[in-house]
Amino acid sequence: MEWPVCARAAYTIYSALSTALCYPLVRLQAARQAWPDGLLQERVSRGLTSTRQNAGICLWVHAASVGESVSALKVVREFSRMTLVDKDRLDADLARGPMRAIMTVSNYSALRFVQDKIRTLESSGEAKVNVVVQLCPFDSTGCVRRFLDVHKPHILALIESELWPSMIYHASRNKMQLLFLDARMSSRSLRNWQSSGLSKCLLKALLSSFTLVLTPRKDRDVFIEHGVRECRLHIAPPLKFVEDLGSALGGDENQLLRNTTLACWAAVSTHQGEESLIVEAHEVACKILRERGVSESRRPRLILAPRHVTRIRDVWNDLHGVNVREGSSHEIEEWSADGSASQDIFLLNEMGKLGDVFDRSECVFVGNSLISNGNGHNILEPALAGCHVIHGCYMGESHVLLDWLNLAGSRCSVELSTQDAGKEALEPFRQVDSAIELGVAVAHFFEASEAARMKVRERGRAQAAAVGHLARAALHKALEQCMQRCVQDDPDTPAASRKGI
C-alpha cells in the first residue's frame, strides 16, 4: 500500500533525524547498559550472520523489554508448532527451507533474559525452529535495511505499543506481512502522535500497514479512527493468557497439592512501600485465625518475593524488627518443613523462581496493586498454577486481564461445604483496598475447609486456562493467515517477489 504524500514527508523528516542521531544514541545506550563487545555493531546491523538457511519462512518478533519478551516468546513457541499444509501452492524456495524465527529486543537485560529462555526451550525440545536472538536494529533507514538484507524475514510481529516508523516502512515496502499483537496505545502516546498534522498522518500510515491487529482492549474505534482497517482488527485476549496448560481444564486435583508441610501464602512482585503493608496484613490474618480457634498447622506462613531483587537490602531494612528469613528458592522447602522455626516470613532473594513459590502457596497476592501509583502485574500465572489470587485496587492496564476473566465467569462464587456454612463464599479472584482487608481475605481463605479451598483454586485455574485457549487460538489463526499470505498466488503479494526480500 502506497503511503500518502504527507506520511512520506513525515517519514523523510523522521528518517533524516534518526540517521543523524543513530551512533550518538547507540553509544550512549551501550555505555549506560555496559554492553559487551560486539553489541554496538549488532545494534547498527553491522557484521550480522545470515539465518536464511534455504529460504524457509522467517518470523521476526520484536519486543521492547523483559515484560514484552515474555509475550514474544509465546509467539515464537506457537510459530514453532505450526506447519504449512498447502504444499501445492508453496513457492519452491519457501517449501524447501525450514521455518525460522528472529527475536529482537531493545535493551541488554531483555537480551540476556530471552537468550536464557531460548536455551531452555531448545534443551526441552519445544523450540522446533531455528531461533536467533539479538538486539533490534536502531530505527534508522540504514540499520533497518541492513538487517532485512541479511535475515530476509517474511513476517514481522510487533508486541504492544512498539510502533517504529523505519521498521514498519521498510517491512511494508518489502511486502512482508505485519502483525500488531496485544496492540495498545495510551492516552499520552496518542496525544504525542496527534501533536502535529504530519505526525498524525504518519501514525495513520503506520497502522494501515498492518495485515492483522489483535488488541485485548475495547478501544477498537480508536485504532480504526487512526488507520487500522476494520476487517483487519480483532479483539483477542492478551498474549499473557497463552499458556500450554490444557490440563488445567481437566481439574486434576493432584496438580493442586502443594509441596509444603505447613500452609503458605505468598506476596509476589511487590514494589517499594508494599512489603510493610504485606507484613501488616500477615499479622492481621494470623490474629484473626488465632481468635477463631484455627489450629496452628492451618495458620499460614508468608513467602515474600519482591519484583526487583536489587531491592532486597532495602526491603530487609524496611522490615527491621520483623523475624524474617532470607534465602533462595531451594531453601523454601527446608523453611516450610520446619514447624518449629520462629521465622514465619521468608524473603526470596532470587529472580525467575515464582513457579517454585506458586508450587508451595495456596493463596497469592499480586503486588504493585496496593499502592496508589501501582499498575498491577500478571494475575494469570498464579491462577494457572492453581493458586487463589488476591490483588489490590490499583491494577492499571492489568484491568484488561480482569475483564477477560470476568467474561469467562471467573468471579462466580464457589459453594461451600456444610462445615463452611454461614461463612462468606470464596471467589477465585478477590480485590482488596488496604492491608487490613488483605489480612481479612487471607484469614477468610485459610479458615475455609480444605475442600472449599481446593475447589475455588481449581475454578480459578480452569477459568484462566479457558481464556488461555481463546488467546492461543487467536494467535494461531493470525500466524496462519500471515503464513498463507506469504505463499499464496496473489497479484498484490507475489510469492516470487519474496525470494529477494
* pLDDT, tens only, 162-214: 899 999 999 999 999 999 999 988 888 889 998 899 999 999 999 999 999 99
Cell of 392: 489490590
Helix ranges (H only) for 48-88 are 66-81
Cβ(271)–Cβ(368) below 8 Å: yes
pLDDT at 495: 36
Give the dihedral of Cα atoms 388, 378, 218, 105; nearest 10 deg.
Answer: -160
Cell of 271: 514494589
Cβ(275)–Cβ(315) below 8 Å: yes
**Is the predicted pLDDT of residue 95 greater than 80, yes or no?**
no
The residue ranges of every structural domain in the chain are: 5-235, 246-464
β-pairing, 177-181 with 100-105? unpaired
pLDDT at 375: 87
Query: Which region among 8-17, 389-398, 400-409 has the lowest average model confidence (pLDDT)?
Result: 400-409
pLDDT at 52: 63
pLDDT at 411: 46
pLDDT at 302: 94
**Is the predicted pLDDT of residue 143 greater than 80, yes or no?**
yes
Answer with the residue of higher pLDDT: 244 or 482. 482
Quote the CA–CA distance of 390 and 361 in Å, as a whole number: 12
pLDDT at 287: 94
Answer with the residue of higher pLDDT: 147 or 485. 147
Cβ(457)–Cβ(364) below 8 Å: no
**Is the predicted pLDDT of residue 140 greater than 60, yes or no?**
yes
pLDDT at 82: 81
pLDDT at 387: 94
Quote the CA–CA distance of 202 and 493 in Å, as a whole number: 23
Quote the CA–CA distance of 336 and 161 in Å, as a whole number: 42
pLDDT at 351: 83
Cβ(293)–Cβ(359) below 8 Å: no
The predicted model gives 275-282 an average pLDDT of 95
Task: Tell me the percentage of the chain whose pLDDT exceeds 90.
Answer: 50
Per residue in 359-385, pLDDT tens?
999 999 999 999 988 889 988 889 989
Q: In terms of Cα–Cα distance, which of 101, 386, 369 is closest to 243?
A: 386
Question: Which residues fall within 8 angstroms of residue 429, CB to CB, at 6 or more apart?
Answer: 379, 383, 389, 390, 391, 402, 405, 410, 411, 460
pLDDT at 124: 74
Q: Indicate the pLDDT class of residue 49, thresholds 50, 70 and 90.
A: confident
pLDDT at 336: 74
**Is the predicted pLDDT of residue 412 greater than 80, yes or no?**
no
Question: Matching CATH topology for 5-235 and 246-464?
Answer: yes
pLDDT at 250: 43
Q: Indicate the pLDDT class of residue 273, thresholds 50, 70 and 90.
A: very high
Name the class of domain 5-235: alpha beta
**Is the predicted pLDDT of residue 56 greater than 60, yes or no?**
yes
pLDDT at 330: 86
Quote the CA–CA distance of 37 and 186 in Å, as a whole number: 36
pLDDT at 426: 84
The residue annotated as part of the active site, out of 68, 160, 243, 275, is 68
Question: Which residues fall within 8 angstroms of residue 396, CB to CB, at 6 or more apart?
Answer: 374, 375, 376
The DSSP output letter for 263 is -
pLDDT at 332: 84
471-484 burial, b at 16+ Cβ within 10 Å, e below that, comes to bbebbeebbeebbe
225 burial level (CB within 10 Å; 0-12, 13-18, 19+): exposed
Question: Which residues fall within 8 angstroms of residue 329, CB to CB, at 6 or more apart?
Answer: 348, 350, 353, 356, 357
Fold (topology level) of 246-464: Rossmann fold (3.40.50)
pLDDT at 180: 96
Query: Which region among 38-42, 125-129, 417-421 has the lowest average model confidence (pLDDT)?
Result: 417-421
**Is the predicted pLDDT of residue 63 greater than 50, yes or no?**
yes
In degrees and rounded to multiples of 5, residue 449 shows phi and psi of: -70, 160
**Is the predicted pLDDT of residue 335 greater than 90, yes or no?**
no
Q: Cell numbers 498454577 correspond to what residue?
A: 385
Quote the CA–CA distance of 380 and 499 in Å, as a whole number: 41
pLDDT at 51: 66
Longest dimension (CA), the chain: 76
**Is the predicted pLDDT of residue 492 greater than 60, yes or no?**
no
Answer with the residue of higher pLDDT: 459 or 240. 459
Q: Indicate the pLDDT class of residue 248, thresholds 50, 70 and 90.
A: very low
Quote the CA–CA distance of 50 and 218 in Å, as a whole number: 40
Query: Which region among 4-13, 20-29, 54-63, 134-143 has the lowest average model confidence (pLDDT)?
Result: 54-63
Question: Which residues fall within 8 angstroms of residue 249, CB to CB, at 6 or more apart?
Answer: 462, 465, 466, 469
- Could you confirm whether 68 is annotated as catalytic? yes
Count of C-beta atoms within a 10 Å radius of residue 16: 12
Quote the CA–CA distance of 155 and 176 in Å, as a whole number: 5
Q: Indicate the pLDDT class of residue 498, thresholds 50, 70 and 90.
A: very low
Quote the CA–CA distance of 100 and 362 in Å, as a whole number: 40
The predicted model gives 236-262 an average pLDDT of 60
Q: Indicate the pLDDT class of residue 427, thresholds 50, 70 and 90.
A: confident
Question: Which residues fall within 8 angstroms of residue 195, CB to CB, at 6 or more apart?
Answer: none
Q: In terms of Cα–Cα distance, which of 320, 310, 308 is closest to 368?
A: 308
Cβ(361)–Cβ(258) below 8 Å: yes
Paired strand residues for 264: 301
Task: Tell me the percentage of the chain whose pLDDT exceeds 70.
Answer: 84
Cβ(436)–Cβ(284) below 8 Å: yes
Cβ(398)–Cβ(376) below 8 Å: yes
Mean pLDDT of the chain: 84
β-pairing, 301-306 with 264-270? parallel
The predicted model gives 81-101 an average pLDDT of 63
